[in-house]
Structure 1
Amino acid sequence: MEISVKDLTKKYKDKYALDHVSFSILEPKIYGLLGRNGAGKTTFMEILAGHILATSGEITINNENPFDNQHLIESICLIKEGNNFKRDLSIKNVLCIYSMFYPTWDPDLAEELVKIYGLDKKAKVKTLSKGMESALGIIVGLSSKAPITIFDEPYIGLDAAARRRFYEILLEEYEKEKRIIIFSTHLIDEVSLLFEEILIIQDGRLILREEADVLRHSTCAVTGSIQQVEAFSKDKKVLNKKELAGMMTAFVYCRKEEAVAEGLKAEGIPVQELMIHLTENKGA
């Protein structure tokens, strides 16, 4: 599946949720779609899934518009943080409906995941705790085997152990059968090692797109005396600086080896920290 985004814009009255966003996704990977609340992530995912229309611009999948396109929608599964299922349906009915909708549905995986998360298939959605409802969303998303699978904060209410199991199963299933997985989360440090490519949206605009490994190896936190760090970072892009007791730490676009060669201490920057500082930087 190939996703092409050209000048995609979504406007609500005078506010842009998406502001002329353009990029393409050409291969199966696990993509981290990051940004602060209100950045435009959910709007983008809903347009991609064919749930809403853009104001202008276009998004196409294999050169087709997903909106009101039954053939394409069968290839896309969007699991949001809540309200994914009708409240009066039982878990058994939810799984039955989705198994008929997605031609790639894996019934064995669905049964296995129901057992792993300890769900009662007779229970109705309206009786589920928040964590159980999230578990049901995860089961549907993974079992759909949809060529484009989108998770938008899918684990609200799940404890740390249940989330970790989800990440493990997601990676196992991805390794068995590659697909485009778009994952939006605020718990970035928990899942950042899963990401193969990272996209950061701020104020409706795509401010960064980079392979995760490249991003990890091209930025570092450099620490030394103020004079040393200022001299080292003079001609480099600096995200942030902190001073304390005559010492400075700067988040710099450089390789760790460069800083170490100058006698400075250098450490990798967690993806979550990078996202925070990039979205704080007005000139990002």
Structure 2
Amino acid sequence: MTQPAVRLSEVSRRFRRTQALDDLTLDIPTNAITGLLGRNGAGKTTLMSIIAGHDRPSTGSVEVFGVDPFEDAPTMSSISFVRDNQRYPEDFTLRQVLEVAPLFHAGWSTDIAEHLVHGFRLPRKTAIKKLSRGQASSLGIVLGLASRAPLTIFDEPYLGLDATARRFFYDTLMQDYLDHPRTILVSTHLIDEMEPLLEHVVIVDGGHLIRTAAADELRGSAVTVSGVTAAVEDVAAQRPVLQRRTIGGLTSVVLETAADDELRTEAARSGVQLTPATLQDLVAAYGVESESLEGTRA
């Protein structure tokens, strides 16, 4: 059995009065694109910082390729962590960054770097501190993908990018990953856009691990039932409800169950609509159990 690229055991991280991560045990598979999903404040960035060796847990243990990454130079050189607040030397330009970056990553690809710079239309001579939000995000993507690091971590890499630029990123990511398999961990709120790329999914909320599974397994683990409230409640009875939303006389519930023949038959008989739950549905459902029209928990 292939060893996981990342293994966390009973990891907690506390910042004074804030419990950012709480007793989290998790494996991230090798040579797969894993999506780290959850609401703002769920603990995603803290988790990625610990995995990258930039922070260490208050309790628990972390291994990246079998080694504690914190302040371990060989392990950290095998990791590329692209985050929103990436810092660069004062007055550095893109040209200077691309000259220095290969020194930190043995697998650096000048070809993919040039492909991305051209595709994003990045200015080479402008000081990085003067780049727009989207251009700064594009530069982070260049550094992450061109590093071809065995573990590449993206923390919401698309901020400020328009739809065309995001599509270019997704297409390039997938093609280069297929050509050069490695472990990629990406946090995103644009779940519907990135869902086709994801092979494995980790959902966190409030510092807790909610679900971790292969993406295909997770997609088939829940369904949405919607229609007239009384009919929906009849179908949902005796089944695990992740989320319930009611507007007027209509209700939609996310059930944590597969759409088997019994459920399909019951839904057809009750006149309710049955649809597979998307990853976006699941993240929302795990984060908010029940809502009424006013947005309060029901």
Other-structure match for 1:197: 200
Cα RMSD of the aligned pairs, angstroms, is 1.8
Q: Within 5 Å, which residues of 2 pair with 1:1-284?
A: 2-243=5-246, 246-258=249-261, 259-262=263-266, 263=268, 264-281=272-289
Change (3 A) 1:34 1:245: closer
CA drift of 1:224 comes to 4.2
CA drift of 1:227 comes to 4.2
TM-score (norm 2): 0.89
Q: Which moved more, 1:123-132 or 1:41-50?
A: 123-132
SS class of match (1:256): coil
Q: Distance in 2 between matches of 1:254 and 1:228?
A: 18
Task: Letter of the 2:22 partner, please give it.
Answer: D
Task: Letter of the 1:153 partner, please give it.
Answer: E
Task: Letter of the 2:78 partner, please give it.
Answer: S
Deviations 1:15-58 (A, max 9, x none): 21111111112321111101111111101111111111221111
CA drift of 1:199 comes to 0.8
Query: Unmatched 5+ residue regions in structure 1?
Result: none
TM-score (norm 1): 0.93
Change (3 A) 1:89 1:244: closer
Task: Letter of the 1:260 partner, please give it.
Answer: R
Deviations 1:142-182 (A, max 9, x none): 00001110100112111111011101111111111111111
Change (3 A) 1:223 1:36: closer
Deviations 1:74-123 (A, max 9, x none): 11001012334234211111112111110010111111111111112222
What percent identity do the matched residue pairs reach? 35
Q: Distance in 2 between matches of 1:10 and 1:233?
A: 37
Q: Distance in 1 between matches of 2:135 and 2:211?
A: 34
Change (3 A) 1:172 1:84: farther
Task: Letter of the 1:10 partner, please give it.
Answer: R
Residue correspondences, number: 282
Q: Is the contact between residue 4 and residue 60 of structure 1 (CA under 8 Å) also seen in structure 2?
A: yes
Q: Is the contact between residue 199 and residue 216 of structure 2 (CA under 8 Å) also seen in structure 1?
A: yes
Q: Is the contact between residue 49 and residue 66 of structure 1 (CA under 8 Å) also seen in structure 2?
A: yes
Q: Is the contact between residue 83 and residue 155 of structure 2 (CA under 8 Å) also seen in structure 1?
A: yes
Q: Is the contact between residue 82 and residue 134 of structure 1 (CA under 8 Å) also seen in structure 2?
A: no
Change (3 A) 1:267 1:102: same
Q: Distance in 2 between matches of 1:97 and 1:131?
A: 22
Change (3 A) 1:267 1:87: farther
Q: Distance in 2 between matches of 1:243 and 1:151?
A: 36
Q: Is the contact between residue 81 and residue 155 of structure 1 (CA under 8 Å) also seen in structure 2?
A: no
CA drift of 1:237 comes to 0.9
Task: Letter of the 1:68 partner, please give it.
Answer: E
CA drift of 1:244 comes to 5.2
SS class of match (1:189): helix
Q: Distance in 2 between matches of 1:198 and 1:272?
A: 11
SS class of match (1:119): coil
CA drift of 1:8 comes to 0.9
Q: Distance in 2 between matches of 1:5 and 1:84?
A: 27
Q: Distance in 2 between matches of 1:175 and 1:71?
A: 25
